[in-house]
Amino acid sequence: MNQKRIINFLKPTTLIVVASILNAIPFSQENMANDKRVIITKQIPTGKIELDGLLDEPEWKMVLPAKDFIQRDPFEGAPSTEKTEVYVIYDEDNLYIGAMLFDSYPDGILAYQKRRDQSLRTDDRFMWILDTFLDGRTGYFFEVNPAGLMGDGLIISSESYWGTNKDWNGIWDARVVIVPEGWSVEVVIPFRTLNFDPNLDTWGINFQRTVRRKNEDAKWTGFQRNKKLTTPIHAGHLTGLKNLTQGRGIELKPYISMNQRQMDIDENIETNNLSDLGFDISMNITSGLKGSLTYNTDFAEAEVDQRRVNLTRFPLRYAEKRGFFLEGAGVYSFLPRNGVTPFFSRRIGLSEGKQIPINYGGRLSGQVGDYELGFIQANTKPVGNIPGENFTVARVKRALLKQSYLGFVYTDRSSSKIKVDSTAMDQTLYGTDLDLKTSEFLGDKNLQFQAFVVYHTAPKNEPNLNFSDLSTRGLRLTYPNDIIRTHVSYREFGEMYNPAVGFSRRNGFKRIQPSFSYHPRPEKYEFIRQIEFGIQYEYMTDLHNNMLKKETTLTPFNIRFESQDVIGIKIVNLIEYLDKPFTIYEDITIPVKEYSSNELQFKFETSEKRMLSTELEYQTGDFWTGEKQTLKTQISIKPFSGFNIQTEYEKNQVTLSGNNFNTELYNIELGIYPTPRTAIFSNIQYDNVSNGLGLFAKLQHTIRPGSDFYLVYTHNWISGSDQIFDFDLVTISKISSLKINYTLRF
């Protein structure tokens, strides 16, 4: 059976199978409350809780705690080895959470990290979620560690492991104290920070605790490994909430930013001293829907991109780091594992990594009934040959069944002033995505079906392109569970699909991609937590069914030890037809031809709970007309709490039909965090492809939650040599920035 017949058979067959399975599953909302653990909260007078980390106020004893946590790992279903008690109370303005995390060996508590939202794979931690609409889909994620680090995020419908957008920074506060019995936590979350349904007296809530030295994770409810903390459908209930309000719901954040810029272009040095004033203002239109406006937007505090070496013919995608586009970004998530991004916020205010000033931006986000909404309107200034532009983005997700949704997306990009010769990025895009999932398949298993279609209008100079040319479409069936994980997906990308406010690495292809992996937990080997054995296959053709790529990836083993060390091997067999030549490095061109290659990949990493931890990746094998060896290393040193040094090194050694070249990339990060509210962070990056050396340094101090002081320094040099230790460097840019913002709430 050829590939075309397989695809034609797969489409209707998959839909019929999925429809039959989902039709057999009890999706009614009436069962959501069954078997839920419940805690009851009570209202207290305002101002009774002093936030010092100690649960010594009598108000904490007014409620019964959430307790009797159950292990998720290492022994699923066993009682937690360390006792945990969590109390929840509230007053007119705030929700308070108090936790006593008992520990039989307080000297073994691990708390290296202090920087907000830093990864806590190194530390003990306490996490919780709030499902403020009791819909089992959306909510808020929070975490703290024994050093007082605060982390938070928005729960989104995502394929990532945690399913959160941790770039959201809500206004809340916490204090943590290590005491002889363990560690104690006090948290205050203003109701103004949250969107919620004021008519509800019950929210979804859940807690999870990690004892890092034991690599033990325990949850209050939903302890099974197939149930993630950030899937609110598995949460318990917090009841007793009455008369909740956000006040006037107005938040004003003015800022002042002073920048000194020095640019060296063709030996002509231009120095600018700039002072900017701007503001963000937001208002709660309803308790679940917030509108925001930003004027003269400034992103001086945004960190630089992680430098990467690209030896492919496709563009690299970099993460968004600007606060205005991160808040409420979860609604714009569009089936992430399908490789389709109709909206990519870096298209607004950035061009080839250079900042384009934004005059103003408006944003609407939140929930109205069963609908999750997102809307952005922005206007940019003209710079050089780039005209001023208007951007419009709208996103709607309609809740379906218990855990599913149907979504729509709309984007529009146009020049502020109409030009006769404008063929640029003027474009309108429409898309829809369907996400059907359940955690009750065969009783307690996860099953997910996804489908999408995205289409955009034709460029002005090519008006005759059809729907197939300008669209992408696909479907995916996934069985993502602890022991067995399998999926099959099919995608088509039109020849001219190029979303003006989105991102696409490649177009003009059809692709079918199945995978299967087995993850046993061998009980007779106590030092091994889980092993992975797997296979993944990818078959890609052009739109006329001519083969472009066949790739088989075998995972003979990937072992995760009880110590959290990991070792694994992958073997990749690739047959690829290059339909267009491309320049891979300097003047070295890869010709049109069919290529066959084999590659061995080895990976080893040690647990981050250690003071010294490392990662090592090594790849060797065929590469186009020759061979390539890749070495990646990362070393992290944490001599004491609040101090971290991390180094990364990558080397590619390439041989192509007698043309040899090496690429090297260095990255050194230094973090000093005297308190969880003060951060001194610096980053030095160098690569021998651009011969560019970059320094980024930032001092950030949180005056109070939502109000910050930033001092940022960026310096970029270029060298005529490909040696990092050649100090014959020329400055190409130097920027110093001072920024202060202050949040006022009414």
Q: Quote the pLDDT of residue 8.
A: 43
Distance of CA 640 to the CA centre of its chain: 28
Q: What's the rounded mean pLDDT across residues 628-633?
A: 97
- Three-state SS at 400: strand
- Three-state SS at 439: strand
| Phi and psi angles of residue 376, each rounded to the nearest 5 degrees, phi first | -135, 135
User: CA 660 → CA 590, 600, 627, 628, 718, distances in Å?
Assistant: 13, 20, 10, 10, 23
Are the C-beta atoms of residues 448 and 25 closer than 8 Å to each other?
A: no
Q: What pairs with residue 270 in β-bridges?
A: 263
Q: Which residue has the higher pLDDT, 422 or 701?
A: 701
Residue 90: pLDDT band with limits 50, 70, 90: very high
Query: In the 3-class helix/strand/coil scheme, how is 8-56 assigned residue by residue?
Result: HHHHHHHHHHHHHHHHCCCCCHHHHHCCCCEEECCECCCCCCCCCCCCC
What lies within 8 Å, CB to CB, of 357 at 6+ separation is: 297, 349, 380, 381, 383
Q: Quote the pLDDT of residue 410.
A: 98
Q: Quote the pLDDT of residue 497.
A: 96
Residue with tokens 């840019």: 733
Q: Quote the pLDDT of residue 411.
A: 97
**Nearest of 296, 289, 300 to residue 132 by alpha carbon:** 289
Residue 249 tokens, joined:
């719901």
Q: What's the rounded mean pLDDT across residues 391-411?
A: 94
Are the C-beta atoms of residues 299 and 278 closer than 8 Å to each other?
A: no
What lies within 8 Å, CB to CB, of 64 at 6+ separation is: 39, 40
pLDDT at 15 over 70: no
User: Residue 228 corresponds to which amino acid?
Assistant: K
CA angle 664, 667, 668 (to 5 degrees): 145
Q: Which residue has the higher pLDDT, 270 or 522?
A: 522
Q: What's the rounded mean pLDDT across residues 452-466?
A: 91
The string of pLDDT tens digits covering residues 472-506 is 999 999 999 999 999 999 999 999 999 999 999 99
What lies within 8 Å, CB to CB, of 464 at 6+ separation is: 458
Strand locations in 381-444, DSSP E?
389-400, 404-415, 427-441
Are the C-beta atoms of residues 654 and 311 closer than 8 Å to each other?
A: yes
Distance CA 405, CA 395 (A): 12
Q: What pairs with residue 713 in β-bridges?
A: 697, 736
Residue 732 tokens, joined:
């190409």
Residue 515: pLDDT band with limits 50, 70, 90: very high
Q: Quote the pLDDT of residue 725.
A: 57
Q: Quote the pLDDT of residue 29.
A: 36
- Three-state SS at 6: helix
How much is the mean pLDDT over the chain? Answer: 88
pLDDT at 28 over 50: no
Q: Quote the pLDDT of residue 1.
A: 39
Q: Which residue has the higher pLDDT, 418 or 206?
A: 206
Q: Which residue has the higher pLDDT, 381 or 433?
A: 433
- Helix spans in 408-523 (H): none
Q: Quote the pLDDT of residue 2.
A: 43
Distance of CA 287 to the CA centre of its chain: 26
Distance of CA 305 to the CA centre of its chain: 15
Round to the nearest angstrom and report the end-to-end CA distance of the chain. Answer: 67
Could you count the other beta carbons within 10 Å of the beta carbon of residue 557? 12
Are the C-beta atoms of residues 21 and 441 closer than 8 Å to each other?
A: yes
Residue 543 tokens, joined:
């739109």
Q: Quote the pLDDT of residue 306.
A: 86
Q: Quote the pLDDT of residue 77.
A: 96
Task: Quote the pTM value.
Answer: 0.88
Distance CA 412, CA 425 (A): 9
Query: In the 3-class helix/strand/coil scheme, how is 548-583 assigned residue by residue?
Result: EEEEEEEEEEEEEECCCCEEEEEEEEEEEEECCCEE
Backbone CA torsion sign across 313, 314, 319, 325: positive
Q: Quote the pLDDT of residue 155.
A: 87
Q: Quote the pLDDT of residue 168.
A: 81
Q: Which residue has the higher pLDDT, 579 or 643?
A: 643
**Nearest of 323, 322, 324, 342 to residue 332 by alpha carbon:** 342
Q: Which residue has the higher pLDDT, 666 or 289?
A: 666
Q: What's the rounded mean pLDDT across residues 296-301?
A: 74
Q: What's the rounded mean pLDDT across residues 282-309?
A: 84
Q: Which residue has the higher pLDDT, 295 or 396?
A: 396
- Domains annotated on the chain, with CATH: 35-239 (2.60.40.1190)
Q: Quote the pLDDT of residue 239.
A: 98
Distance CA 428, CA 421 (A): 18
DSSP 503: B
The string of pLDDT tens digits covering residues 127-180 is 999 999 999 888 999 999 999 999 999 887 654 444 677 778 889 999 999 999
Are the C-beta atoms of residues 395 and 416 closer than 8 Å to each other?
A: no
User: CA 527 → CA 303, 522, 530, 561, distances in Å?
Assistant: 40, 9, 10, 6
Q: What's the rounded mean pLDDT across residues 665-674?
A: 97
Q: Quote the pLDDT of residue 273.
A: 57
Backbone CA torsion sign across 586, 591, 594, 595: negative
**Nearest of 239, 235, 124 to residue 184 by alpha carbon:** 124
Distance CA 367, CA 286 (A): 9
**Nearest of 123, 115, 215 to residue 611 by alpha carbon:** 123
Residue 473 tokens, joined:
């479409």
Are the C-beta atoms of residues 348 and 380 closer than 8 Å to each other?
A: yes
Q: Quote the pLDDT of residue 271.
A: 54
| Phi and psi angles of residue 529, each rounded to the nearest 5 degrees, phi first | -90, -45
Are the C-beta atoms of residues 144 and 157 closer than 8 Å to each other?
A: no
Q: Quote the pLDDT of residue 101.
A: 98
Distance CA 718, CA 487 (A): 46
pLDDT at 464 over 90: no
Are the C-beta atoms of residues 700 and 321 closer than 8 Å to each other?
A: no
What lies within 8 Å, CB to CB, of 171 at 6+ separation is: 190, 192, 193, 705, 706, 743, 745
Residue 263: pLDDT band with limits 50, 70, 90: low
Helix (H) or strand (E) holding 310, with range, is none
> Parallel, antiparallel, or unpaired: how do β-strands 236-239 and 38-40 relate?
parallel
Residue with tokens 């609409």: 133
- Over pLDDT 90: what percentage of the chain? 66
The string of pLDDT tens digits covering residues 576-627 is 999 889 899 888 999 999 999 999 999 999 999 999 999 999 999 999 999 9
Distance CA 113, CA 289 (A): 34
- Three-state SS at 210: strand
pLDDT at 275 over 70: no
Q: Quote the pLDDT of residue 287.
A: 83
Q: What's the rounded mean pLDDT across residues 647-655?
A: 96
DSSP 331: G
> Parallel, antiparallel, or unpaired: how do β-strands 404-415 and 389-400 relate?
antiparallel
Q: Quote the pLDDT of residue 541.
A: 97
